[in-house]
Chains A and B, each alone.
Chain A
Amino acid sequence: MKKFGVGLAVIVLLAGLLSGCSKGEVTGNPDTAGGKQTVIRMAVSGSEQEKQLRYETANLFMKEHPDIKIEWVDIGTERYQKTLTLISGGNAPDILYINEWTVPLAKRDVLLPLDDYINKDPDFNLGEFYPSVIDAYKVDGKLYGIPQEISPYVIFYNKDLFDKANLPYPKDNWTEEQFLETASKLTDPANKRYGYLYENFGAPLDGFLTRNNVELYADPANTHLDSPEALETLTMLKKMVVDDHVSPSPSEQQAAGQGSDAQFRNQQVAMISSGMWYLPTFKKDPLPFKWDVVRMPAKQNQQTKVGALSWSISKSTKHPEAAWEVLKFFVGAEGMKIVAKYNMALPASSNAEANQLILDSAFPENVKAFVDSAPDVRMTEFMNGRYSEISDAVKEIVDRMMLGQLTPEQARQELIAKVNEKSS
């Protein structure tokens, strides 16, 4: 026992020595002006080009605000895990890059509500932002994140293949029926070419349901999964992918092992749905055919899903005022114009100047389809704290329907049961 005591003492002593070195460095007084710089740590992630966009915005900001210095915290591709680790380790960046995790994290009380800063800041106009987008970052009426970029899903189509099939180019006000008919006419089994690439995950799946007024991520009482429309859309998806086979099935897509951009480029599919993030690649490395974009086809409404980037302030920040200045700049007119210049996403606000830059780019010709889709983006999934868990279960159920293990009606029953179980 005594020996054990000595050993323990040694261990404790050494542990104490080690922990002595891990105390954080002391930074200057919070928010002082007198010559001292306030350091704001800001999360960054994504492609080199995306990071370039952030750096450019930050440099412009620091030129205007010499008292604030932005320091980057690269959170890599596993953004959420890295952020979670930083937060639990008490080392959260002042400005967080969390997008669809905003509501789950706000509910866990680690984000700063922004309402006070917005209300007392005359330079900032929240009214410029699309209401359906802003609502996605609210919990109990308080706002926890402000989006800088949104990228609504639209249809990219191959004009050459339309010409070959003698089909007129689609118009922004087309319907789901017209879309399905077009997809079937573009399908050419002999050449292993499909009219459309339906990807069975979150946004494309939710999009078709949403346009038929079914909301997987609403309160269980308001999903409308028990409506005839829910069954109609599930049946339509199965018919499109399995029976009519105008899109490669999920297993064929997995087998091909290529992203939708590659399959579109190789002309294996005539239409894909995606956000603006493909534009920089398609510009740098032009597609070997004529192409354009068009809005998602209307069903009961013409809503669409979206990829979005938003900024939040960590509740533990020592410099909330300075952090707000940075955030405000990124989502303000200057920040939005830089977003528009890079042409990889839409500015998340209706800021006329920034959106005009997108329209002027005329890349592709009907780039207006993105801008026109913006007021119709539907982000219910962002507001559901258990989004990832539900979407994982939903994907599995629809996968099984596509594999023929479930009828659309059985799939619907399973969806109802799962959504109820996960939301309880």
Chain B
Amino acid sequence: MVRKETAWGYFFIAPMMIGFAVFMLYPFVYSFYLSLTSSDGIVAPKFIGFDNYAKLLKDTTFLRSLRVTLYFTLVTVPVGAALSLLAAMLLNIKMRFVTWYRTAFFLPVITSMVAIATVWKWLYNTDYGLINSIFAALGLYEPPWLASAKWALPSIMIMSIWKGIGFNMVIFLAGLQGISPSLYESAKIDGAGAFRRFTNITFPLLRHTTVFVVIMSIISSFQVFDQVYVMTQGGPAKSTSVVVYYIYQNAFQFFQQGYASAMAYVLFAIIFIVTLLQTRLAKNKDVDG
């Protein structure tokens, strides 16, 4: 009897398991195999050991794309998380139209990145864009945005932060609503100001939420691609060539799927180690707590 039930259990999870095996596990394993070959996507792959990885260490374009990605992550994650927390705290206040505001912040999240990037490309247009028209009317400096090697990456960062705020805000909101109001009341009675209440109650109690938000944001920033593909194609002069864009170029333009897979695995290793370190740090904090 028990065995029969077990079999049915497996039967019911089979659709999910098959999906996982076919679309996740198999590509995951196969791409590692590809990374050890000279595969070009057509000819039968030839096994070359770790040559691709050795070549990566000397590929200045790859190393630069890693730097660009790191810079993107170091800016967008903290700024994005801080702004999301701020938005969550503001929208946690009981006021009229609060659900309307929450929806407004969340809308970019459910919109496709490609659509958003296309619209922002026009907002950023140096001569005719909305942003520079406003700046011109206010007599401000009009940056060349996507047209300049200096401004292109910051332009993409601003847009990405804007798109990401809504998602993180909702998670922070959930965290905030889990904090008992009685804590704030007693703190108020003890004479703690708004800032003290934030540093001594809100922030410590939101720690798990913050860790989650930061981990998820780091993972997605390391994988930034769509907005680069749509807005700058890695330019000008490679200033926005992030790792995944370079992987895409190698896999689908340069006939080097093996090499591209090796890059993907290096990126995976980096994300994996960073995430591991973060969870470790968060756990240690718990023990010390």
Residues of A within 8 A of B (CB): 3, 6-7, 10-11, 14-15, 18, 80-81, 84, 87-88, 104-105, 108-110, 250-252, 254-257, 385-386, 388-389, 392-393, 396, 399-400, 403, 405
Please name the residue on chain A nearest to B150 by beta carbon.
Answer: A403
Q: Given A7-B17, A84-B41, A105-B42, is A388 in contact with B11 using a C-beta cutoff of 8 Å?
A: no
Q: How far is the CA of A251 from the CA of B125 in the complex (A)?
A: 11
Q: How far is the CA of A10 from the CA of B18 in the complex (A)?
A: 10
Instruction: Tell me, yes or no, whether B21 is within 8 Å of chain A by CB.
Output: yes
| Chain B residues, Cβ within 8 Å of A396 | 235, 237-238
Can you name 18 A-B pairs with beta carbons within 8 Å? A3-B10, A7-B10, A10-B14, A11-B17, A11-B18, A11-B21, A80-B253, A84-B41, A108-B40, A109-B43, A251-B149, A254-B235, A255-B125, A257-B125, A392-B253, A392-B254, A396-B235, A399-B235
Determine whether the beta carbon of A389 is less than 8 Å from that of B253. yes
| Chain B residues, Cβ within 8 Å of A392 | 249, 253-254
Determine whether the beta carbon of A10 is less than 8 Å from that of B42. no
Tell me the smallest distance from the CB of B7 to a CB of chain A, in Å: 5
| Chain A residues, Cβ within 8 Å of B223 | none
Determine whether the beta carbon of A10 is less than 8 Å from that of B147. no
| Chain A residues, Cβ within 8 Å of B31 | none
Tell me the smallest distance from the CB of B96 to a CB of chain A, in Å: 40
Instruction: Tell me, yes or no, whether B122 is within 8 Å of chain A by CB.
Output: yes
Tell me the smallest distance from the CB of A399 to a CB of chain B, in Å: 4
| Chain B residues, Cβ within 8 Å of A104 | 255
What is the size category of the interface that chain B forms with chain A?
35 or more
Tell me the smallest distance from the CB of A248 to a CB of chain B, in Å: 10
Determine whether the beta carbon of A400 is less than 8 Å from that of B144. no
Determine whether the beta carbon of B42 is less than 8 Å from that of A88. yes
Q: How far is the CA of A405 from the CA of B149 in the complex (A)?
A: 11
Contact mask for chain B residues 1-44; partner A; CB cutoff 8 A; 1 contact, 0 none: 00100110011011101100110000000000000000011110
Determine whether the beta carbon of B18 is less than 8 Å from that of A3. no
| Chain B residues, Cβ within 8 Å of A88 | 41-42
Determine whether the beta carbon of B253 is less than 8 Å from that of A388. yes
Residues of B within 8 A of A (CB): 3, 6-7, 10-11, 13-15, 17-18, 21-22, 40-43, 61, 121-122, 125-128, 144-149, 235-238, 249, 252-255
Tell me the smallest distance from the CB of B277 to a CB of chain A, in Å: 32
Determine whether the beta carbon of B126 is less than 8 Å from that of A386. no
Q: Given A3-B6, A7-B17, A251-B144, is A257 in contact with B121 using a C-beta cutoff of 8 Å?
A: yes
Q: Is the interface of A mostly helix, strand, loop or mixed?
A: helix
Determine whether the beta carbon of A6 is less than 8 Å from that of B237. no
| Chain A residues, Cβ within 8 Å of B22 | 15
Please name the residue on chain B nearest to A109 by beta carbon.
Answer: B43
Q: Given A257-B122, A403-B237, is A6 in contact with B6 using a C-beta cutoff of 8 Å?
A: yes
Determine whether the beta carbon of B3 is less than 8 Å from that of A6. yes
| Chain B residues, Cβ within 8 Å of A110 | 42
Determine whether the beta carbon of A254 is less than 8 Å from that of B237. no
Q: Given A14-B14, A87-B42, A389-B253, is A254 in contact with B6 using a C-beta cutoff of 8 Å?
A: no
Name the 3 nearest CB pairs between A and B, nearest first.
Answer: A255-B126, A255-B147, A7-B10
Tell me the smallest distance from the CB of A15 to a CB of chain B, in Å: 6
Determine whether the beta carbon of A251 is less than 8 Å from that of B43. no
Determine whether the beta carbon of A254 is less than 8 Å from that of B7. no
| Chain B residues, Cβ within 8 Å of A256 | 125-127
